[in-house]
Amino acid sequence: MLTKSARVLVLTSSTRPGALGPLVAQWLMETITPRAAELGVELVPVALGDLDLPFLDEEEHPSAGVYQQEHTRRWSEIVDAADGFVVVTPEYNYGMPATLKNALDYLSREWAWKPIGFVSYGHTSAGTRSVQHAKQVVTTLRLVPLGATVAIRIGDAVEGGRLRSDASCDAAGVGLLDELVRVAHALRPLRERARAGALSGPVPGSYVRRLTPDDAPEVTVLQRCSWVDEAVANDTLAIPALHESLEDVRDWLATWHTTGIWRDGRLLGMVRARRVDTDWHVGRLAVVPDLRGQGLGRWLLRTAEAGVQPDCRRVLLFTGAKSLRNIDLYHSEGYRSVPLAGPDGTTCLTKDISVRQH
């Protein structure tokens, strides 16, 4: 899953006029931005004071995900799009600011399975008691707090309204980002599983969802490992799936309805389908080599057929002329080979819609 970049929200939690939070957040952004560029991470600074969140004013419980207020919907979109969070927080009376607690309480699903790190500041404890308070809350929301933290003692760090240069503090900030990104990637399968629209898949622990252009890296890997056997069986390397670039794959993912089976962040199989005139075209049926023979290909084929539009006359697909295992599967599912001109070295198989419905 390291093929996907991560979006990290840098959240300034204090809304008090004249608070040190914006200065600390500015230092953090300047310090970790070069490292974020190396890691391919998008940093998104957000100040709670800019969100205008009143005290929680939704009628439904946040777990319902039913939001009546525009400010809640806006906050939900911001949090949902993030893969992890760094919170810049002061300590108020041994705890976190009420504004931060309120912002956390507004949402539920959007926080789940994402890492959260803290940069705290204060006097006696450098804000660490605020972090301990926050950790009790965020774990309930299924956020995963990091071990790495940055704690800034105001008396030692601030001079003339600016933060003193501190190499050890800079290194701690970069270390926090490094850990956050590693954990964000490790947790991505859990976030994927919880994504709206994901359904249980045909093998234990798997789930199914429509693939998007963002899935192009995983699709490219699946294609190249799946079509090697086809190349050998048909004695040709002239197979588009073996040569497509990431951009090529992104382009067709945007126009085909493609279903993917996932487990623990791994793409196990896929199939694509779309209408062309009165035909329902099915293609790119692929299953990872180590799970072949367990019925995934048949399940994917039937899933693609289930999406056929009512006024289509037949389902149509192509495979290598010497891909006997594929052809046997299609024949067993009611397809018949037809003398229809296709790409060189391929054979065409069709199934009438009336046959499919029976």
Residue 219's pLDDT is 97
3-state secondary structure of 24: helix
With 0.85 as the threshold, say if the pTM is over it: no
Residue 196's pLDDT is 52
Secondary structure (DSSP) of 76-127: HHHHHT-SEEEEEEE-BTTB--HHHHHHHHT-SGGGTT-EEEEEEEESTTTT
H and E: helices and strands count for the chain: 13, 15
Element spanning 260, H or E:
strand 257-263
Structure tokens given for 345 = 């070295």
Q: Give residue for tokens 């995983």.
A: 218
* Residues 124-166: tens digit of each pLDDT: 899 999 999 999 999 999 999 999 999 999 888 887 777 888 8
CATH 3.40.50.360 in the chain: give the residue spans.
Answer: 6-188
Domain 6-188: CATH superfamily is Flavodoxin domain (3.40.50.360)
The residues, ordered by sequence, that sit 6+ positions from 231 with a Cβ below 8 Å of its Cβ are 237, 239, 242
Work out the average pLDDT over 164-175.
Answer: 92
Work out the average pLDDT over 321-326.
Answer: 91
**Separation CA 66–CA 22 (nearest Å):** 32
Q: Return the closest-CA partner of residue 63 out of 113, 111, 114, 107.
A: 107
Lowest pLDDT segment from 70-79, 256-265, 344-353: 344-353
Residue 164's pLDDT is 83
Residue 2's pLDDT is 44
Q: Answer yes or no: are the C-beta atoms of 284 and 260 closer than 8 Å.
A: no
**Separation CA 220–CA 216 (nearest Å):** 6
* Residues 208-248: tens digit of each pLDDT: 999 999 899 999 999 999 999 999 998 898 899 999 999 99
3-state secondary structure of 171: helix
Instruction: Look at 300 and 159; give whichever has higher pLDDT.
Output: 300
CATH 3.40.630.30 in the chain: give the residue spans.
Answer: 199-357
Query: CA Rg, the chain, in Å?
Result: 26
What are φ and ψ of residue 69, in 5° steps? Answer: -95, 140
Please determine, looking at this structure, whether the domain spanning 199-357 carries the CATH number 3.40.630.30: yes
What burial class does residue 106 get, using C-beta atoms within 10 Å of its C-beta: 0-12 exposed, 13-18 middle, 19+ buried? Answer: buried
Q: How confident is the model at residue 310 (pLDDT cuts 50, 70, 90)?
A: confident
